[in-house]
Amino acid sequence: MLPTLSQRIAQLQPSPTVALNSKAKELAEQGHKIINFSVGEPDFPTPDVIVQAAIKALQAGKTRYGAAGGGLPLRKAIVEKLEKENALTYKPEQIVVGIGAKEILFHLALACFNPGDEVLIPAPYWVSYTEHVVAAGATPIVIPMPTDHKAPRLTAEMVRPYVTARTKGIMITSPSNPGGFVIPPDEMKALGDYLSDKNWWIISDEIYEYMSFDGPSISMATLCPGVRDRFIVVNGFSKAYAMTGWRVGYMAGPKPVADLVRTLQTQSSTSLPPFIEEGALEALRHGKELMAEQMKVLRHRRDLAVSILKQYPELDMLPPNGAFYVYIDLRKVLAKSALYAKDNSLDFSKKLLETYHVAMVPGEAFGTPGFIRLSYAVHDDTLIEGLKRLGDALVEIGAKRTA
């Protein structure tokens, strides 16, 4: 018999987005023509200037350990970015660069929360937040979203009923994954005003910052100076610069938090590979403009996806104005089918993959059964073909199609 495992870690669920992406890749390797709308990953190549900077760094011998938390030039460049684009002032010692925003978020949960603490997580949420909180021994408290898609999406009224004496943190994600929506500045400011006198950590995941199609996505810290001393910005390069495989993310926040996250890094991943840092630094030298054309392409794909989905009058969706997701409400269609009663989008997504060879992440993974997430950062032809197959699967269970 084996010795027992860690009880805390054994509670964790494997990431459903990563698992479904791996399954889709495996089926494709077996020769199936899989359309993969599952993983949140731009299909653009990393810009060549970034690739060249990393190659040059490799050739120059930048192949040894780097500085924990990121080298000073990269942290200074992040400070400049936050000042210029977000009107937020930080010192380099308040910045920690890590192996993707995911590692930063994991370490933040370990650094900020204790057993017994409760962390508010509005749903639909990105799959890893709840597991990070559980890994820290704290308790995720899920705040369900309103079912009326036109209602404000994250307000003090929504949050208040879930607050207890144990509340210690809140996660904010705008633009949202999987929701694909942006919290408008007036709602963000109102929520920030409510949070101004709360002694909680506010963790703001702004990784889709550049993907806000109908107006800017503005950080709560920019709008509400009152929250800044407990506010932690998380951002990264994966989405903004099509660098998912490079694994670079960062946080900016109060120095005691940054110090603890850096300590965790010294005891886990040690540092970012220095040649990767050079690529990230090059990305920041060019800034947002480097990917301006790709953002237009994403916007076009959003419009294309929405126009196709509109052929199915029973489908609803959250306002798809951010990130590169459409979060589709299947509940009216699922209700027509005995097979998928009770908002069972999980079984529907299994059938969609096995029979129609389309991989999409079901709402169960994001805390809202009955939905399915479309990641539309794929070529137009793939989008059209995959949505046709999704439509066929829906029609098979009774959905109406108008065109």
Residues of this chain that interact with ligand GLU (CB under 6 A) are: 15, 17-18, 39-41, 102, 126-127, 177
Q: What separation in angstroms does the CA of 400 have from each of 83, 305, 309, 392? A: 50, 17, 11, 10
User: Considering beta carbons, is residue 14 or 73 the nearer one to ligand GLU?
Assistant: 14
Q: Within 10 A of 31 (CB to CB), how many other CB atoms are there?
A: 7
CB of 101 to ligand GLU, least distance (A): 9
User: Considering beta carbons, is residue 281 or 393 the nearer one to ligand PMP?
Assistant: 281
Which residue, judged by CB position, is nearest to ligand GLU in the bound state?
Answer: 40
| Distance from C-alpha of 269 to C-alpha of 98, rounded to nearest angstrom | 8
User: Considering beta carbons, is residue 128 or 222 the nearer one to ligand GLU?
Assistant: 128
249 interacts with, out of ligand PMP, ligand GLU, none, CB within 5 to 8 A per kind: ligand PMP
Residue whose C-alpha is closest to residue 397's, from 331, 304, 353, 328 = 331
User: Considering beta carbons, is residue 248 or 315 the nearer one to ligand PMP?
Assistant: 248
18 interacts with, out of ligand GLU, ligand PMP, none, CB within 5 to 8 A per kind: ligand GLU
User: Considering beta carbons, is residue 241 or 312 the nearer one to ligand GLU?
Assistant: 241
Residue 287: exposure state from Cβ atoms within 10 A (0-12, 13-18, ≥19): middle
Give the footprint of ligand PMP on this chain (CB under 6 A).
40, 100-102, 126, 173, 177, 205, 207, 236, 238, 244, 249
CB of 157 to ligand GLU, least distance (A): 28
CB of 207 to ligand GLU, least distance (A): 8
CB of 38 to ligand GLU, least distance (A): 7
User: Considering beta carbons, is residue 86 or 238 the nearer one to ligand PMP?
Assistant: 238
Which residue, judged by CB position, is nearest to ligand PMP in the bound state?
Answer: 100
CB of 106 to ligand GLU, least distance (A): 11
The residue type of 160 is R
Residue whose C-alpha is closest to residue 42's, from 257, 231, 296 = 296
In 3-state terms the chain splits into helix, strand, coil percentages (rounded to 5) of: 45, 15, 40
CB of 107 to ligand PMP, least distance (A): 12
Beta strands 325-329; 371-375: pairing state: antiparallel
Residue whose C-alpha is closest to residue 177's, from 336, 376, 349, 14 = 376
15 interacts with, out of ligand GLU, ligand PMP, none, CB within 5 to 8 A per kind: ligand GLU
Backbone φ, ψ for residue 335 (5° rounding) = -65, -20
| Cα–chain center distance at 195 | 22
| Distance from C-alpha of 293 to C-alpha of 84, rounded to nearest angstrom | 21
CB of 177 to ligand GLU, least distance (A): 5
User: Considering beta carbons, is residue 40 or 320 the nearer one to ligand PMP?
Assistant: 40
